[in-house]
Amino acid sequence: MVLAILHKDSSLWSRVIKAIYGDSGGLERNSFATYTSCWSNIVKEVTSWYVKVSNLCNAICFKLGNGEKARFWEDRWLDGMLFKTLFSRLYALELCKDCTVTSKICDYTFDSSFRRPPRGGVEQEQSMALLSLVKDIQLVPMEDRWSWSLSSSGEFSVSSVRRLIDDKTLPDATQKTRWVHLVPIKINVHAWKVKSNSLPTRFNISRRGISHLTP
């Protein structure tokens, strides 16, 4: 739901959440430090999955248009890269850390919003590497929009997240599952669960982070 709300800009839920918590939905800021809500509980639950499986936010990036919505340092808008991490020394010099892509691209020196010009060494190397990456970026007269990298269409789907979770949590099978048509389907299913170690035993339940009551 968190990813769907961020991705589907036109949905009612997306508009409501963004009106309250901003375009990021409160994911990148400590928006829930002083109070709890239904949305904050959803975000916290998703965050726990980020630790167990993978940071799903890495799969969300901007498809660049006019550059007025995507943030230059804080958002993934160029090949999934996060500039504040990739160019950490330059990010430390930046005074306007929420600047948009268009405002930065229009600044041909890239350092007018820095507290001081980059010096030699690592800062100079990162400055040259950044200029090399963005020198050919061309903006187009259309809005930036979210794109979902786990789907070939770029559209978010629950099934793509389900596949990622399964790939990360389910054990690998050395052999393909063979279904025996001469026995009931429930026997086939039970055999598959035994082989993949996915029976709801106490150990498997606790390994997936699900609490259970002890009799």
Name the residue ranges covered by the structural domains of the chain: 2-63+144-169, 76-134, 175-215
pLDDT exceeds 80 at position 83: yes
pLDDT in tens, 158-170: 777 777 777 766 6
Place 173 in a pLDDT band, splitting at 50, 70 and 90: low
Place 86 in a pLDDT band, splitting at 50, 70 and 90: very high
Q: What is the pLDDT of residue 101?
A: 93
Q: How far is CA 144 from CA 46, 99, 135, 139, in A?
A: 25, 14, 19, 10
Q: What is the pLDDT of residue 90?
A: 94
Q: How many CA atoms lie within 13 A of 194 on its CB side?
A: 6
State mean pLDDT over 86-113.
89
Q: How far is CA 175 from CA 133, 154, 171, in A?
A: 44, 32, 12
State mean pLDDT over 14-40.
69
Q: What is the pLDDT of residue 89?
A: 94
Distance from the Cα of residue 8 to its chain's centroid? 14
pLDDT in tens, 127-138: 999 989 988 888
Instruction: Return the H-helix or E-strand segment holding 38.
Output: helix 38-52
| Amino acid identity for residue 165 in this structure | I
SS3 content of the chain, % helix, strand, coil (to 5): 45, 10, 50
Q: How far is CA 97 from CA 70, 113, 121, 161, in A?
A: 12, 9, 22, 30
Q: Taking a C-beta distance cutoff of 8 angstroms, is the pair 77, 62 a contact? A: yes
pLDDT exceeds 60 at position 10: yes
Considering the entire predicted model, what is its pTM? 0.58
Task: Give strand ranges (E) for 50-114.
Answer: 60-63, 76-78, 81-82
Number of H helices, E strands in the chain: 10, 4
